[in-house]
Structure 1
Amino acid sequence: MTAGQTVASPRAADRASLARWRWAVTAAFALGGITVSTWGPRLPDLRADLHVRDAAIGLILSAFTVGSITGLSAASTLLARLGGRGALRSLLLLVALGLAVIGAGAGIAHEIILVVLGFAAVGFGIGALDVSINVEGAEVERAYGTTLMPLMHAAWSAGAVVGAATGAACAALGVSLQAQFLAEAVLLALAAGIATRAVPDAVPAEATGERLPLAQRLRTWASGWTDLRLLLIGLVMLGVELGEGSANNWLTLAVRDEHHQREAVAALFFVAFAAGETIARVVGGPLVDRVGRVRAVRATTAAGVVGMLLFILAAPAWLVLIGTVLWAVGVSMGFPLGMSAAAESGPNPAARVSVVASIGYVANLAGPPVVGALSQAFGLLDALWLVLVLMAVAFVVSGALHRDEPARTP
């Protein structure tokens, strides 16, 4: 939502309200990160509660993917209808409801269909929330006049660590899945009500007129897929998100099997990756303000290419560790800065963010299985060459993330 797209915007009315708005959006990022990582450690319990096998768990989790993609497509309409505050609050409450349904469906009713519906609801909420918080974050950046999106995405990363740690702790302490998920649903609902109070309730101008026919709204969204610059931004996000998703799924196994390290050591390599990515995002904002968005993405993706070369080719463990950290730096900035660039690249920021977010989601969700399939034929380290090549492509086309000069207001 740019300046010409809001009705009676109260944004940046004073510095205090602007700061509250900033931290409210950052909190929403953190809540999203907590949610998407909380069930990973509980999948064995979910499988036991439902009396199913791993293949069925994979199908159940696909409901989250389908819901996420649907939510990405619907985010623009939700923002137009509900405004910033209403959209964020409603989506977080939907996620809380989905978590409650998962907990009740698995631990109380033992019904697969309820769990599927719960994951679909969480997926829809997270997908639409991802677009909404990035649109809000881009507006906060413009109001502040400084780069803040990497720090906000660092909050998502930190939230993911908290969510995974919470799930692991509950599993270790013997807390039932339904108790954990129901408690988290209540806490998330309360946090949604509190955090979103500081988000301005500005409504995009297109929501004040008569609602456009469905076919016309679909054409408006689809037109984003014909915008060359938007597709190049998506290509940057494709490379870095494939790099992040591949690390999340395959880094530990590659260190253990291909670099012949013990499981505990391999786990520490993944910790180093997660820490490197989070720290890079925390310090990334000042870097962007100093050197610019394009140079920052070029520098980080170049570091990622070097890091992956070391990870694939190096033999000493210390050199592989350096490669791991550089790999993490390489994937740290492309997604948040790509979101900022997409939001300011033209009219209807929510629809434009939805396009590039869809590309990033596909890379993160579909890329790791592709790497796994290639590893069956060529080995895991050789399969990672695909990730390296796409990260190099992201380096080449990163000029698409240039910052547009804001229109001068009379």
Structure 2
Amino acid sequence: MRSATAAPQAATALSRHRAAVAAAFAVQGLLFISLTTRLPRFQRIWDLSELFVSGLLLMVVLLAGAGSALAELAATRMGSASTLRAGFALQAVGLGAVAVAPQRAVFVAGLAVYGLGLGIVDAASNMQAVAVEHRYGRTILPSFHGAWTAGGIVATVVTIAVTRLGLVAGLLPLCVLALGLLAAPLLPAGADTPVAPDVAALDVPWRKIALLGAAMVLFYMVDTAATTWGPVFLKSVHQAPDWLLPLATLPYLVASLATRLAGDAAVARLGAVALVRVGALVACAALAVIVFSPSWPVAVLGFTVLGGSVAVIAPLSFSAAAVVAGGGLDPEARRARVDAVIARFNQFNYVGGLLGAVLTGVVGADSLRPGFAVPMVLILAILPLAGAFRAEPATRHTPS
């Protein structure tokens, strides 16, 4: 009798964990896009040049990288669930400081705290996601990243709707939402009885993971350029009105969401390698449309196609890296090693962020057209890297 009820209970618990992790991704996307879509507003309020904004973005990216490294240490001691909750608490504090900042120094300090929390949440949420995916025994990472995109879409729509409201009214409710994640039923640390590994001593195939990481760098280079500099591009290049500026981000995110929601089935049907290669070629063409756009509607079209072309690269990178890192291990050792490797793998995210946010801004200091030409060329480097996505599916693990 007990065995007859154990399986449905385990399936119900797994569904709750999956929903909680998806919610974490959604709130992360909501917070991040809520900030980036307000960049032109921050520039105006604090009288920031594009080079100064590039410096702020560099600070956030570097602190996010430090946060990701902290997440690895924290996850081995208290599990990825508690680490994720700590990251959201930091983000809430940082975002609150940004919203109520009475002077530029407080604004910068708030961004710094937010950046640290950003890295912790990025790493820990992906640790949770790959652990849940392992239990399902099939690729579901694109749907988690789709939840991030859905949160970004909500953020963009809300930003448009509250354009005339102050930063306090627009951002403080998001702090409450982030704190609400502290009660989410995340996958507990003891689910696999993980043991803290010495990752450096493990026989991890770092070369293949590095190839996957290089592809993720290229994706985040494009993604960060689009979400961070897209609104500024419409303003500085095409003089679009303020209420239209989020349109650089909204269609991009909508197209990304559609691609990610279809990603699980597309991988099963076409394979990850083909999806990655086609996505890189289409992304190059979309960026060319943006660079040479004669008007803002054409630029928005380019951003839309761009979002639909590359959206599955990041989740497939994490999924493939988890398969490579966890191969041949029993369940007790697998999650600990995968958590540690994913935390390090997540660092590639911020290298891409540096290229997309900082390099695009520096090269595009006089005009963002050449700034967006940088990812237009570099994204083609994914073509020879696509073979690294050829990985075996995760082995199904049924919770006892």
For the criterion TM > 0.5, the same-fold answer is yes
Distance 1:387 1:368 in 2: 11
List runs of 5+ in structure 1 lacking aligned partners: 1-9
Kept in 2: contact 1:242–1:363 (CA 8 A)? yes
2:72 counterpart letter in structure 1: S
The CA deviation string for residues 247-283 of structure 1, in whole angstroms up to 9 with x for no partner, is 234556667887x796688865654333212211111
Distance change in 2, residues 1:171/1:395 (3 Å): same
Distance 2:8 2:63 in 1: 34
Decide which moves more: 26-35 or 160-169.
Answer: 160-169
Shift of 1:159: 1.1
Matched, 1:337 2:307: no
Distance 2:174 2:233 in 1: 33
Distance 2:98 2:192 in 1: 34
The CA deviation string for residues 187-217 of structure 1, in whole angstroms up to 9 with x for no partner, is 321x2133x2243332675656xxx8xxx77
Matched, 1:367 2:356: yes
Q: How many residues align?
A: 379
Equivalent residue number for residue 5 of structure 1: none
1:28 counterpart letter in structure 2: A
Distance change in 2, residues 1:101/1:310 (3 Å): closer
Match of 2:164, SS? helix
Equivalent residue number for residue 403 of structure 1: 391
Shift of 1:153: 1.0
Equivalent residue number for residue 30 of structure 1: 26
Match of 2:324, SS? coil
Distance 2:292 2:176 in 1: 48
Aligned equivalent of 2:176, options 186, 199, 204 = 186
Decide which moves more: 23-32 or 80-89.
Answer: 80-89
Distance 1:384 1:234 in 2: 22
Equivalent residue number for residue 199 of structure 1: 187
Distance 1:287 1:123 in 2: 33
Matched, 1:39 2:39: no
Equivalent residue number for residue 303 of structure 1: 282
Kept in 1: contact 2:123–2:346 (CA 8 A)? yes
List runs of 5+ in structure 2 lacking aligned partners: 1-5, 327-336
Distance change in 2, residues 1:307/1:12 (3 Å): farther
Distance change in 2, residues 1:387/1:111 (3 Å): closer
Matched, 1:133 2:122: no
Shift of 1:167: 4.4
Matched, 1:394 2:357: no
1:396 counterpart letter in structure 2: P
The CA deviation string for residues 114-143 of structure 1, in whole angstroms up to 9 with x for no partner, is 444432222222211111111211122222
Distance 1:255 1:282 in 2: 28
Distance change in 2, residues 1:59/1:239 (3 Å): closer
Kept in 1: contact 2:318–2:342 (CA 8 A)? yes
Cα RMSD, aligned residues only = 3.8
Matched, 1:67 2:63: yes
Equivalent residue number for residue 6 of structure 1: none
Aligned equivalent of 1:53, options 47, 56, 63 = 47
Decide which moves more: 311-320 or 267-276.
Answer: 311-320
Match of 1:39, SS? helix
Distance change in 2, residues 1:404/1:251 (3 Å): same
Kept in 2: contact 1:135–1:343 (CA 8 A)? no
Aligned equivalent of 1:150, options 125, 131, 142 = 142
Shift of 1:73: 0.9
TM-score, reference length from structure 2? 0.78
Distance 1:44 1:323 in 2: 20
Shift of 1:324: 4.3
Distance change in 2, residues 1:20/1:61 (3 Å): same
Decide which moves more: 368-377 or 227-236.
Answer: 368-377
Map residues 10-409 of structure 1 onto 2, 5 A cutoff. 14-40=10-36, 52-54=46-48, 62-104=58-100, 106=101, 110=102, 112-173=104-165, 175=166, 177-189=167-179, 191-194=180-183, 196-202=184-190, 207=195, 227-251=206-230, 268=247, 270-309=249-288, 311=290, 323-346=302-325, 348-375=337-364, 381=369, 384-404=372-392
Kept in 1: contact 2:64–2:119 (CA 8 A)? yes
Kept in 2: contact 1:238–1:390 (CA 8 A)? no
Distance 2:109 2:29 in 1: 20
Kept in 2: contact 1:304–1:391 (CA 8 A)? yes
1:135 counterpart letter in structure 2: M
Distance 2:301 2:171 in 1: 38
Distance change in 2, residues 1:193/1:266 (3 Å): closer
